[in-house]
Amino acid sequence: MDKHPPLTPEELASFTAARLQKAQGSDKRHWRAALRQLVAELGRELGRAEQARRPRRYHNSGEDLERTDEMLQALLSCPTPDLEVKVHHYPAKKGEERRIKRIDYSIDGYLVLRLSHYSPHFRPFFGGSYTQDERIFSLDLLRLMLPRYARFCTEGMLALNGKKHEQLKEAKIRSVATGSVGVMAKSLLATKRYAHHLRSEQKSEVLRVRLNERQRAELRLPYSSFVQKAKHLLPTLAILDGLLAESPLPLGIGYVREHIGWGQTHRSKLNFPGQGNSPQLLDYQREELKRLAQLFPPDRMDYFRLRPRYTKEQLEGLAELKIPGLDQSVSSHGYRHIPTITYSQQGREFLIIDEEYVALSTWRGWETIMLHEPRHYLFRQNMLEVLPLPPFEQLADIIPRLASYALEQEKQASTPEYLEIQRRRNVQLELERIIPPIMEASGEQYALELPNSWDDCPARLHVHDNARRTITLYLSYTDAANVADHVRLALELARKAVADAPMAFQLRYSEDDKTIWTEF
């Protein structure tokens, strides 16, 4: 039996100029995926272990062109059923052997493939070019491909036509159902006066329903089946209303996100709210810098000239210098691997020295206090003056004095803002202490995020419910009392709601919801 049967007249008739024009968008992706699949199959037939090798760069060198010429000559003898072959040669002087410039393969007069001597070598009708360094352009693989290339084109066109037919059918269903699904959903929601938002997609309407000021439900209403499922919409929303009424914590239920670090706790130190643009914060910073200027009087001329950055060698030498009573850690960044030195005392980081700046940790967060380019900083940071970078030779004396200053300022800090941020930081640390042991004891797969945020409920506890679903609990930095009981109860209620709800849903929590709602 013929391994590659010839095309039938009906199949040949399917080749038209419209179908063989250069593909765009999804058509192009379809053909490229089909070609990758064909090359993979042929590679398996050849048993080529080097199919996954990284291609080398191709330069159209004399050696490469000579090898390509030999390949084209060898391919002339390859059987090509249903393909019309036309060979083009370079001009040659009398008595010289003519060299192949390109080989064109056509079906029923339509060009479907070109093999070229000069780069790019492999040019299919659907666009894209493949040079000699690609896996596809090898003599053994092309000998297997050419006899079945016509069949590849036919099957690809049939599959593409099937996809377009399905898309056309879906478009017709969507055009008929879009209005009816929206009208039906709105009429159901009007009975309970739910605020809602509808968005059309290819196969469904996405319905968002506001349950309270910060929580909303998201449901998909398929065009093809919503009429049968319409009766489940209000019962599902009623279950979610009950869940939010009983749950001691705000919560979200949705699909698994890839970037969640399961089994990990991520905590960012809480800083002063609105850092960088708060007038109150700027007043604190200006007062701080005045005291530092008295402690480390700068040369006023340094504000009119650039202080040199610290060199890599200087910072490496400083990193080797041990200062009594202080611990230090060294990290490097950038392609130059410039060291950044962080100093800590009594277990608390208080100072960072980089090639360009010195930063001090205050109760409000990290603040740049010395910079190699103070004039630029002055205009960037709301006219906030900063001290010039001190000469490197003075650092060994400045660091212990800054350590004493940091301790003294921490003891003196007693403003209402300081007391509030310390209270929130303590709750943040308490959550980090309480929650991981609870989740590990229950055997739950979890991730705890404790960000630098002053939202009402900034902390997020993600719990892996199943292969596709995650339950997220939102925790406050104002109180950690009974948090263990609240977490257990909220998880139990969330799982019960998922099991009882007759429709699939997602539950969202947002303190800054910008959805434009339709009210009744």
Residue the block writes with tokens 């024009």: 21
What is the length of the chain? 520
pLDDT in tens, 106-161: 887 888 888 888 767 788 888 766 654 456 677 888 888 888 888 888 888 888 88
Give 413 or 419, the one with higher predicted confidence. Answer: 419
Identify whether the C-beta of residue 427 lies closer than 8 Å to the C-beta of residue 479. yes
- Given a cut of 60, whether residue 61 has pLDDT beyond it is no
pLDDT at position 412: 61
The alpha carbon of 53 is separated from its chain's Cα centroid by a whole number of angstroms, namely 27
Cβ neighbors of 150 (< 8 A, separation 6 or more) are 7, 80, 81, 82, 83, 107, 112
Identify whether the C-beta of residue 400 lies closer than 8 Å to the C-beta of residue 323. yes
Nearest-angstrom CA–CA distance, 152 and 163: 16
The H or E element that residue 292 is part of is helix 279-295
Nearest-angstrom CA–CA distance, 149 and 401: 79
Give 390 or 479, the one with higher predicted confidence. Answer: 479
pLDDT at position 49: 45
Phi, psi of 427 (to 5 degrees): -65, -40
Nearest-angstrom CA–CA distance, 188 and 15: 51
How far are the Cα atoms of 163, 168, 295, 404 from residue 151, in angstroms, in the given order?
A: 18, 26, 84, 81
Closest listed residue to residue 200, CA positions, set 225, 228, 171, 157: 171
pLDDT at position 168: 77
Q: Residue 326's CB: how many other CB atoms inside 10 A?
A: 16
Of 28-32, 258-262, 280-284, give the lowest mean pLDDT range.
Answer: 280-284
Cβ neighbors of 426 (< 8 A, separation 6 or more) are none
- Given a cut of 50, whether residue 383 has pLDDT beyond it is no
How far are the Cα atoms of 99, 135, 461 from residue 365, in angstroms, in the given order?
A: 73, 55, 25
Phi, psi of 90 (to 5 degrees): -70, 150
Nearest-angstrom CA–CA distance, 445 and 130: 46
Strand partners of residue 89: 100
Nearest-angstrom CA–CA distance, 231 and 229: 5
- Given a cut of 70, whether residue 282 has pLDDT beyond it is no
In which region does residue 398 sit, left (phi positive, over 0), alpha (psi from -120 to 50) or beta (all else)?
alpha
pLDDT in tens, 67-101: 788 888 888 888 888 888 999 888 877 777 888 88
Q: Residue 408's CB: how many other CB atoms inside 10 A?
A: 11
- Given a cut of 90, whether residue 231 has pLDDT beyond it is no
Q: What is the DSSP letter of 383?
A: T
Q: What percent of the chain has pLDDT over 90?
A: 22
